[in-house]
């Protein structure tokens, strides 16, 4: 009902209500509930609460901003938007490379944004080859935290009740994922998909939308517009329509030709181009005629380059998903002036401070790269991104670490390509790359990608050194624990510990023991957890590694809380805080503060609990950790529930529950217990109806708003007093 109303059809929305009412009555003998009736009344009076503020809509529009205006295509865009606003939930724009599928889809998506209040989002797939990572790419594009379940499940849950349009670009690269799109549409009734692909997906419900070449006047207008960008005052001659026809009126071919008007007139192009078209067999032999035309046009542009520009153009094909100019200089010996020349010739394009090749152009450049015998550039590419990944060790727990992660985020596709190359050519280096990327994958919540990477490392078998195998097992266990696959996590962690003991390096053994102890604690084996963590502390002391000691003490404190060993918690607490602060380990400091807060709450020292939770919340807010932030928002709510602030507590708990559900964040056993106790206190203080109202109000809060309100509430709880 809501999706149809927001699409502009009150009548369709009310019809959906009547259908639901009829089904409930005839099949179940029931009347619509109060929420459904309330929604019907709101639709009848065009309640403004059902719409979304235009500024908020704009913020939810995650689409590329084209550098140039769309020339022509008005009818195509109108037809496409009409399809997408109607019953077509999956529309696939098809055609060979260079026909303008992506450009038409982006324009249509911009014009459809008002009908999709929960977001219109572009998902670029040009650099992806692993179909199993498509769901993770969508999760990343939506800005959703990857949760503990597989990305496809988390995605379906996130989109289930949302009115969202996804634009999936270059789907032919991962067409094995097509059935997954069908499953996603089934799980999310208000979801719409625009997909660009060279061929249809051939799944149920698909509407194919072939993107034709431009009509004559549009083709000429495009040529003139692009020609004037490089040659001011250019005027079309009689040769231009004929030239556009020769180029099959393909937008990319026309743009490549127009970029040459400074060197060649349209009449000269008409003389030169036919010879190139006759040589189109240099392109894919089984490609459609229009693709052959485009291939020949790219080849013509390539031949007109001088030798240094040709060589650079071919070398740049090693980059996937774009590159920074500095990376091109390192990998390809790129000269800035030559890059600018290739941009001017429309063989490269600039976007967001980066440079890239359109996928069709990159395919051509890859063939040229192979023909030039430039295989060493692939190794230089892999080495460059291996160095970038390993540079993270120099900035760990440093303010510069965020910048490093941002760089890796921008170059995820290049890192994947480097990893794939190294798996085949240098397994030891591939293992080092995965080790170096672990923290990035984990903190940025690319769990699916991290798990798959370490599975591939472990699949190397005897090619791995014992140390690489031990590390891969450790990191795999950490990802499994993050997913709350505790059985698998325990098996992997115990195996990793065995390998680390064989290697005999104290700091690595200590780290493995932290993981083993943490998993044991979470499954309820508290005494064995403490044994493992105490051994970790002892080894870290012996080795003199304050960072590992900080980590071990933090997790030991947490394990004592989970095991209700509160005297031991107090005994360890101050040393753990001092150690984490000495190490500059904000992660572990927040863990200790939160654990001390939980212990104080259990002992009945609620004022101390509020102080500890408040400090833990501040630490997690500073480092941008949503899981920790929500945990301590709930902790503050638990204190407030019994200290005279039940209304605020209920609102915060509602916010935390909604935000955790949206991010698929599971609660650990201790947190589940705290929530149950808090809810019981709130039901007694407020009653069910008031609790529900406050909870619902909190569910509308953003993470930042919930954290801010929790911090303010903790301050209001005041200093310790006999009453508290």
Q: Is the pLDDT of residue 462 over 80?
A: yes
355 and 275 assigned to the same domain? no
141-150, 226-235, 243-252, 567-576, range with the lowest pLDDT? 141-150
Q: Is the pLDDT of residue 500 over 90?
A: yes
Among candidate residues 210, 230, 264, the one where a domain is terminated: 210
Give the integer Cα–Cα distance in Å for 542 and 555. 18
pLDDT of residue 580: 93
Output the CA–CA distances (angstroms, integers) from residue 646 to 606, 631, 666, 683, 687, in the order listed.
14, 18, 24, 9, 11
Mean pLDDT of all residues belonging to the chain = 84
When pLDDT is averaged across residues 68-83 and rounded to a whole number, the result is: 88
DSSP state of 26: I
Kindly state whether residue 227 falls inside one of the protein's structural domains: yes
Residue 459 binned pLDDT confidence (cut-offs 50, 70, 90): very high
Among candidate residues 374, 399, 420, the one where a domain is terminated: 374
Kindly state whether residue 592 falls inside one of the protein's structural domains: no
pLDDT tens column, 54-68: 444 444 567 887 777
pLDDT of residue 54: 46
Q: Is the pLDDT of residue 622 over 80?
A: no
Q: Considering just the CA atoms, what is the radius of gyration of the chain in Å?
A: 30
Q: Any idea what the Cα angle at residue 361 is, between residues 63 and 100, rounded to 5°?
A: 45
Residue 329: CATH number of its domain: 1.10.10.10
| Residue 160 burial (CB count, 10 A) | 12
Q: Is the pLDDT of residue 504 over 70?
A: yes
pLDDT top residue among 239 and 52? 239
Q: At what angle do helices 626-641 and 646-662 cross, to 10 degrees?
A: 160
552 and 440 assigned to the same domain? yes
Of 341, 412, 352, whose CA–CA distance to 137 is shortest? 412
Q: pLDDT above 90 covers what percent of the chain?
A: 38
pLDDT of residue 41: 64
64 and 34 assigned to the same domain? no
Q: At what angle do helices 546-562 and 586-603 cross, to 10 degrees?
A: 20
Q: Is the pLDDT of residue 282 over 50?
A: no
Among candidate residues 243, 277, 303, the one where a domain is terminated: 303
357 and 340 assigned to the same domain? yes
pLDDT top residue among 697 and 497? 497
Residue 45 binned pLDDT confidence (cut-offs 50, 70, 90): low
Give the integer Cα–Cα distance in Å for 522 and 518. 6
Residue 281 binned pLDDT confidence (cut-offs 50, 70, 90): very low
Kindly state whether residue 630 falls inside one of the protein's structural domains: yes
Residue 95: CATH number of its domain: 3.40.50.300
pLDDT of residue 585: 87
Cβ atoms 157, 200 nearer than 8 A: no
Kindly state whether residue 400 falls inside one of the protein's structural domains: no
When pLDDT is averaged across residues 384-401 and rounded to a whole number, the result is: 89
pLDDT of residue 71: 85
Kindly state whether residue 434 falls inside one of the protein's structural domains: yes
Give the integer Cα–Cα distance in Å for 310 and 371. 12
39 and 64 assigned to the same domain? no
Q: Which residues of 442-459 are buried (b: 16+ CB within 10 A; e: fewer)?
A: eebbbbbbbbbbbebbbe
566 and 423 assigned to the same domain? yes
H helix or E strand, kind and range, residue 92: strand 90-94
Give the integer Cα–Cα distance in Å for 501 and 499. 5
Kindly state whether residue 396 falls inside one of the protein's structural domains: no
Q: Is the pLDDT of residue 44 over 70?
A: no
pLDDT of residue 721: 39
Encoding tokens for residue 527?
A: 């005494």
Residue 327 binned pLDDT confidence (cut-offs 50, 70, 90): very high
pLDDT tens column, 424-454: 999 999 999 999 999 899 887 788 888 889 9
Cβ atoms 433, 383 nearer than 8 A: no
75 and 168 assigned to the same domain? yes
**C-alpha 322 chain-centroid distance:** 17
Residue 485: CATH number of its domain: 1.25.40.10
Encoding tokens for residue 382?
A: 């892999």
468 and 413 assigned to the same domain? yes
Kindly state whether residue 346 falls inside one of the protein's structural domains: yes
Contacts of 337 (CB under 8 A, 6+ apart): none
Residue 588: strand, helix, or coil: helix
480 and 336 assigned to the same domain? no
pLDDT tens column, 105-117: 999 999 898 888 8
Output the CA–CA distances (angstroms, integers) from residue 81 to 5, 77, 78, 182, in the order listed.
17, 6, 5, 21
pLDDT of residue 691: 86
pLDDT of residue 455: 92
Kindly state whether residue 624 falls inside one of the protein's structural domains: yes
Give the integer Cα–Cα distance in Å for 34 and 14. 16
According to the per-residue pLDDT averaged within each range, which of 250-264, 274-288, 345-359, 587-601 is highest? 587-601
| Residue 629 burial (CB count, 10 A) | 25
Q: Is the pLDDT of residue 191 over 50?
A: yes
Give this prediction's pTM.
0.72
546 and 428 assigned to the same domain? yes
Number of domains in the chain: 6
Q: Is the pLDDT of residue 515 over 90?
A: yes
At 120, phi and psi to the nearest 5? -125, 115
421 and 570 assigned to the same domain? yes
651 and 694 assigned to the same domain? yes
Output the CA–CA distances (angstroms, integers) from residue 428 to 417, 432, 468, in the order listed.
16, 6, 8
When pLDDT is averaged across residues 241-246 and rounded to a whole number, the result is: 89
pLDDT of residue 723: 41
Residue 104 binned pLDDT confidence (cut-offs 50, 70, 90): very high
Q: What is the 3-state secondary structure (H, E, C) of 263-290?
A: CCCHHHHHHHHHHHHHCHHHCCCCCCHH
Q: Is the pLDDT of residue 601 over 50?
A: yes
Residue 29 binned pLDDT confidence (cut-offs 50, 70, 90): low
pLDDT tens column, 244-278: 988 888 888 888 888 888 888 898 888 877 776 65
Query: How many CA atoms within 13 Å lie on the side-chain side of 104?
Result: 31
Place of tokens 């929530």: 675
Domain that includes residue 249, residue range: 216-303
């Amino acid at each position: 009902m809501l999706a149809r109303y927001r699409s502009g059809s009150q009548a369709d929305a009310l019809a959906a209500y009547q259908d639901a009412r009829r089904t409930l009555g005839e099949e179940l003998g029931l009347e619509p509930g109060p929420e459904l009736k309330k929604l019907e009344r709101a639709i009848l009076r065009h309640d403004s609460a059902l719409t979304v503020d235009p500024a908020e809509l704009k913020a939810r529009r995650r689409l590329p901003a084209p550098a140039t205006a769309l020339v022509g295509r008005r009818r195509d865009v109108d037809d496409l938007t009409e399809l997408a606003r109607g019953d077509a939930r999956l529309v696939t724009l098809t055609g060979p490379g260079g026909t303008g599928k992506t450009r038409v889809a982006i324009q249509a998506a911009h014009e459809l944004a008002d009908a999709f209040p929960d977001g219109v989002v572009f998902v670029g797939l040009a650099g992806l080859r692993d179909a199993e990572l498509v769901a993770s790419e969508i999760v990343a594009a939506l800005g959703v935290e990857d949760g503990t379940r597989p990305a496809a499940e988390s995605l379906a849950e996130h989109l289930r009740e949302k009115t969202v349009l996804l634009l999936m670009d270059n789907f032919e690269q991962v067409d094995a994922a097509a059935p997954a799109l069908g499953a996603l549409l089934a799980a999310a009734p208000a979801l719409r998909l625009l997909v660009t692909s060279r061929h249809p997906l051939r799944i149920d419900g698909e509407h194919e939308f072939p993107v034709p070449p431009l009509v004559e006047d549009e083709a000429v207008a495009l040529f003139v517009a692009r020609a004037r960008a490089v040659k001011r005052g250019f005027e079309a001659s009689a040769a231009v329509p004929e030239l556009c026809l020769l180029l099959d009126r393909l937008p990319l071919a026309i743009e490549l030709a127009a970029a040459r008007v400074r060197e060649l007139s349209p009449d000269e192009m008409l003389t030169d181009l036919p010879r190139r078209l006759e040589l189109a067999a240099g392109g894919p032999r089984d490609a459609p005629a229009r693709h052959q035309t485009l291939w020949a046009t790219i080849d013509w542009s390539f031949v007109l380059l001088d030798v240094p520009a040709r060589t650079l153009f071919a070398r740049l094909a090693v980059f996937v998903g774009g590159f920074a100019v500095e990376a091109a200089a390192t990998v390809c010996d790129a000269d800035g002036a030559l890059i600018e020349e290739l941009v001017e010739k429309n063989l490269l394009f600039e976007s967001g401070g980066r440079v890239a090749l359109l996928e069709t152009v990159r395919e051509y450049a890859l063939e040229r790269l192979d023909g030039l015998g430039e295989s060493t550039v692939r190794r230089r590419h892999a080495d460059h991104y291996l160095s970038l990944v390993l540079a993270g060790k120099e900035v760990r727990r440093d303010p510069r670490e965020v910048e490093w992660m941002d760089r890796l985020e921008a170059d995820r596709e290049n890192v994947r390509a480097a990893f794939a190359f190294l798996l085949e050519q240098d397994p030891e280096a591939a293992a080092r790359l995965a080790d170096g990327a672990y923290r990035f994958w984990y903190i940025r919540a690319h769990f699916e990608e991290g798990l798959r990477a370490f599975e591939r490392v472990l699949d190397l078998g005897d090619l791995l050194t014992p140390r690489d195998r031990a590390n891969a097992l450790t990191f795999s266990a950490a990802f499994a624990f993050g997913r709350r696959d505790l059985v698998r996590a325990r098996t992997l962690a115990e195996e990793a510990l065995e390998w680390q003991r064989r290697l005999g390096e104290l700091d690595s053994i200590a780290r493995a023991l932290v993981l083993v102890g943490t998993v044991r604690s979470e499954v309820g084996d508290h005494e064995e957890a403490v044994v493992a963590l105490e051994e970790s502390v002892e080894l870290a002391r012996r080795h003199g590694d304050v960072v590992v000691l900080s980590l071990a003490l933090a997790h030991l404190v947490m394990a004592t809380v989970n095991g209700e060993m509160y005297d031991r918690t107090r005994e360890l607490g101050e040393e753990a805080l001092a150690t984490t602060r000495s190490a500059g380990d904000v992660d572990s400091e927040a863990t200790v503060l939160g654990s001390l807060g939980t212990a104080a709450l259990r002992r009945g020292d609620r004022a101390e609990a509020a102080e500890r939770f408040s400090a833990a919340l501040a630490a997690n807010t500073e480092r941008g950790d949503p899981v920790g932030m929500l945990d301590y928002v709930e902790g503050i709510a638990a204190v407030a529930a019994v200290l005279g602030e039940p209304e605020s507590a209920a609102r915060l708990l509602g916010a935390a529950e909604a935000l955790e559900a949206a991010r698929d964040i599971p609660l650990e056993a201790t947190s589940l217990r705290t929530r149950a106790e808090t809810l019981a206190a709130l039901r007694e203080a407020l009653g069910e109806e008031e609790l529900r109202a406050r909870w619902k109000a909190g569910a509308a809060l953003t993470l930042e708003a919930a954290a801010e309100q929790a911090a303010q509430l903790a301050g209001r709880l005041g200093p310790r007093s006999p009453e508290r």
